A and B are shown apart, each in its own frame.
Chain A
Amino acid sequence: MSAAPVVLAASSATTVAPIQTPHVEYSSISPLLIVLGLAFAGILVEAFAASEARRRIQPVLAFAGFAAAFIAVVLLHSRRATLVSGALAIDGPTLFLEGTILLFGLFAVLLVAERRLDSSGGAIVASASVTPGAAGSTAMQTSKEVQTEAYPLLAFSVSGMLMFVASNNLLVMFVALEILSLPLYLLAGLARRRRLLSQEAAMKYFLLGAFSSAFFLYGLAMIYGYAGTVRLGAIADAAGSASANDTYLYLGMGLLAVGFFFKIGAAPFHSWTPDVYQGSPTPVTAFMAAATKVAAFGGLLRVFYVAFGGLRWDWRPVIWGVAILTMAIGAVLALTQRDIKRMLAYSAIAHAGFLLVGLAAANTDGLSGSMFYLVTYGFTTIAAFAVVSLVRTGDGEASDLSQWQGLGRTSPWLAGIFAFLLLALAGIPLTSGFTGKFAVFQSAIEGDATPLVVIALVCSAIAAFFYVRVIVLMFFSDPPADGPVVVTRPSLTYATVGVGALVTLLLGVAPQPLLDLASHAAASGFVR
């Protein structure tokens, strides 16, 4: 029975049609092209410029490139189409998420370029290839050199993210996933201090990332086996038509979901998050926490809304379960963390759970609410990590919580801003954390997910405990005698903290313009 198509295919091979080269709408994919071009230009700079010049050129180049790409996104704001023979899509969610990723990329450049933090300069090591503990490894920590490859790596990663949220085709999406992931694995290993921890983080991230990519790829194969196509729209059509054996479809959907869950750090695929967040250079952690989450969530939203939109009654229970587990694990495990970066990592896990609540809503409001939430969370978390990078002892960041005691007395401004950011992460009103949670939870209630919202609120309450505990620690404890020092005048980091805190405040007080933008972007939906 199944022989006939094969024969047909074989016979058609004899009269082979010329391979059609896809028509490429260069202007519509210009943000992606700009960032890719930037990445290659960065490599060229690495190859040809002197080390001193590299240190000056790379940040400017990266910043300008991301800014240019952001402007391109803005210019494309009304474009809705599928591109490159349907491999990519440009629509409201794509543009909104691309813009968000590029903004976070800009802040990542600022943080990476900061050279006043360490006496020797920068958070990126001089040479990542020197084995920790080997001769010269301590010299690497104090060397004025930096591994400026960080900038092109950042650009490659951003280009992967841009492609990931625009992919309208599972295969392209897989490629994008790898493009965004591989540079991140490398970046995770570039911390100047605590080299061993950083390399361990990079190794773990790489191994587990590869593991999850395998799941993703396997799921992709299953879907192809079921639908005979990798295009999201076509998968939706196939899933909509009655089929005798849709086991492959569900297997594939589950495995694809695992790939996404890993990237967004949902439980039980979250174990890498605290280790990697702790070991990575803090600017990279900030970038991962904000931008990677946006990209992974963007892809997840697109796949589940477009390809599996008709099956929402089947996948919603699973999303419920994962959301509950993620929120609970993030909130509960954060309670006993002693390291501030690990605590923020668990906070990121909890926030991934809250975002999944928006997906569980499975409606347009859920889509716009999730996108809004991604923006609010991203700005707050970048600013929070930037503050973490400012509080230092003689040998690096003072990441142990006990060292933060009494910071409110020694540096009231910085501690005040950090307290504000923590309140935003906890979701207290007048911060963007509240409006974001409100948008997501409201859409979930409209989507008949009220029990989920109740659980989310309980988890928020648990989470509030450890945020407030840090505030109490900062303001109501006496500073230790050999306390950490807050670095003075690191202008780029200050700018990041300031803008992040300002956006957190603005979106908490006057969220309407961005909410309108998000719901406008979501209203037109995904193109297929």
Chain B
Amino acid sequence: MTPAVAAGAEGGAVHYAAASGAFSLSWLLIALPLAGAAVLLLGGKRTDKFGHVVGTVAALASFVVGLVIFFTLVGRDGSDRAVSQHLFSWIPVNGFQVDAGLLVDQLSVVFVLLITGVGTLIHIYSIGYMAHDPGRRKFFAYMNLFLASMLLLVLGNNFLALYAGWELVGLSSFLLIKFWEYKPAAATAANKAFYMNRVGDVGLAIAIMFMFGTLGSTNYDHVFTAAAGGAIGHGTITAIALLLLLGACGKSGQFPLQAWLPDAMEGPTPISALIHAATMVTAGVYLIARSAPVFNETQAARTVVVIIGAVTILIGCVIGCAYDDIKKVLAYSTVSQIGYMFLAVGLGPAGYALGIAHLLAHGFFKAGLFLGSGSVIHAMDDEQDMRRYGGLWKYMKVTWVTFGLGYLAIIGCPPFSGFFTKDKIIETAFDKGGTSGYILGIVALLGAGITAFYMTRLFLMTFHGKARWSHEGADAKHPHESPTTMTGPMILLAIGSVAAGALFVVGGTLQDWLAPVVGEHGEADHVLSPTVLTLLTLVVSAGGLAGAVLRYQLRPVDAVAKPDAAVSPLTVAARHDLYANTFNEAAFMIPGNYLVRFLVWFDKIIIDGLVGGTAATIGGLSGRLRRTQTGYVRTYALSMLGGTILVVGALLLVRAG
């Protein structure tokens, strides 16, 4: 029995303090970026000139409020750090009461800092990145809208508020992926993201309906108290957990709903960094960690979570090796890293905090990597194919260094952040014990090795080796370092990549901090000694790194990828996203198209036919009956007589009967 379950059985009831002081300002967190979005969208062209400033200031102000709240929370007693603020009665129908309220606690506040902090940096970066884009104001408006939505998602004190935020981030994500909607690929990618997210969202919606159905409330305190107290049937709670997981998989690009995330890279690079790497796609992890009391009650759902995590790690890694598009590789790397987080939170109380720690560390280094890639793409005139890069370190030193730090963090090189967080996850996977523990541990270990391989490949192909571009000719490139607005955030994120891991993990800082929310982590029985495991991880990662160096540093890289016929079947499969799209197309899209065609046919022939037929029949009847209206009084009199006989006859009949 895990400690958290024990704690649940003893204490059980979840209680939040009422908001006062700085906490009563928590609504400002959401309101500030929302106001920014409103000003920019309603202000229209008048705000074109200073729109980016408004957006950035709104994000920064929200970050400052977040900091104030964070430090107030730190100053509080450990058991008193969950503060709920009732805002207004949302749905005050008798028997259906929904209050809108916010919850500031240890979990939400770290998310607030991540979202507003990274968000502010990316706002600043975008000032430079989008400087020449005619739609810059709209871009900042949507980013502010995203911030507000994402903050609502993590700050709501009930599942309905979370759902509202969930849908709104989906909307902002959609708007930003298709920001360059004149590109057909961007428009298609936005639609794809939207559809695939819907699949997950339906799961979340049904989970919430289940809660309403069984508990009549979606407030976290009610739901979690009921879950921990065993007030929900086992079948129901498993169903709720699995449906929540479906929602999480959709939003976080996890197997089997991972295919939209790489395509979403069609959006501007700051968006890829903010939404599709650092914050929104980790909402699934947040959802599971937040619903820890629910998942604690159901082993079955947790098993599904770890399986999905493990499968996704491998999928992401394998495909990441095959792509030449720098952003696609990073996208699959995101998929795979979130797989690690899912694996961690699926391991139960031992892993929730680790999952969140990896999430935060990932938020820094992956945002940094994306911003770095954006800087490179900017420098290379929007070229994204790594085979046309090479030797760029000479031309953009800041990007090279910051990107390199992020790269070291993601492959788990000590003492960078990824080392601490990923290492811990691998360790906890092994600690699960039994065959399943070994399988999960080995998958995680293998993932670390492959990650090292493809990230090294990316790094080397981009910054080292021979330049596979030229200064001259029609296709001439003039790589240059990016402006300060872009390099500044990159530097800050790089510092985060370096430091975050140790800060969170060493000494269990984050675990202790989050314990009241997700449960005590306890002291696990180690299957393998942590030292041995760490060494093993380092060896595997070094192996991957060495493989990549051998292949891509010591041998020349072709400027054009080999055709499918000349590479291994696995590479071909990976180049085709392991046939995920093909599968989706065959399993869902084509049957869906046929269904739609059938429905259109059904609507046209049957429904319209019925309606039109009825109308035609009545019309025809009308035309025929009209002829009884001859205009002759004698006919009218006859019909009256007939009617009289009918009426009188009917009355006599009724009387007789």
Contacts and interface: CB of A to CB of B under 8 A. Distances in A.
B629 A274 contact: yes
A330 to B, nearest CB: 11
Interface string B579-607: 00000000000000000000000000000
Interface residues of B, number: 28
A204 interface: yes
Contacts of B640: 208, 211-212, 215, 258, 262, 268-269, 271
Contacts of B618: 332, 335, 462
A207 interface: yes
Interface stretch (B108-116, B460-468, B517-525, B642-650): B642-650
A318 B644 CA distance: 11
A373 interface: no
Nearest to A274: B629
A254 interface: yes
A323 to B, nearest CB: 12
Interface string B629-655: 101010111011011101110111011
Interface in A261-278: 261-262, 267-269, 271-272, 274-275
B134 interface: no
A322 interface: yes
B614 to A, nearest CB: 9
Contacts of A250: 648, 651-652, 655
Q: Interface majority SS on A: helix, strand, loop or mixed? A: helix
Contacts of B654: 314-315, 317-318
Contacts of A336: 619, 622-623, 626
Contact of A329 (B625, B642, B644, B646): B625
A244 to B, nearest CB: 13
Contact of A257 (B615, B622, B625, B647): B647
Given A268-B639, A268-B642, A272-B636, A332 B651 contact: no
Contacts of A203: 633
Contacts of A257: 647
Given A207-B633, A207-B637, A462-B618, A254 B648 contact: yes
B567 interface: no
Given A333-B626, A336-B619, A271 B650 contact: no
B651 A254 contact: yes
B644 A258 contact: yes
**A contact residues, range:** 35 or more
Contact of B652 (A251, A267, A271): A251
A258 B631 CA distance: 21
A321 B628 CA distance: 20
B639 A271 contact: yes
B93 interface: no
Given A274-B629, A332-B621, A336-B623, A318 B650 contact: yes
Which of A269, A271, A315, A336 has the most B CB atoms < 10 Å from its CB?
Answer: A271
Nearest to A314: B654
A491 interface: no
A267 B655 CA distance: 22
Nearest to A325: B643
A67 interface: no
A116 to B, nearest CB: 33
Contacts of A255: 644, 648
A168 B646 CA distance: 27
Contact of A251 (B639, B643, B648): B648
A480 to B, nearest CB: 24
A246 interface: yes
Given A274-B629, A315-B651, A335 B643 contact: no
20 contacts: A203-B633, A207-B633, A208-B636, A208-B637, A247-B652, A251-B652, A255-B648, A258-B640, A261-B643, A262-B640, A267-B643, A268-B640, A275-B629, A314-B651, A315-B651, A315-B654, A332-B618, A332-B622, A333-B625, A336-B626
Closest 8 CB pairs of A and B: A254-B648, A268-B643, A271-B636, A335-B622, A336-B622, A254-B651, A250-B651, A258-B644
Interface of B: 615, 618-619, 621-623, 625-626, 628-629, 631, 633, 635-637, 639-640, 642-644, 646-648, 650-652, 654-655
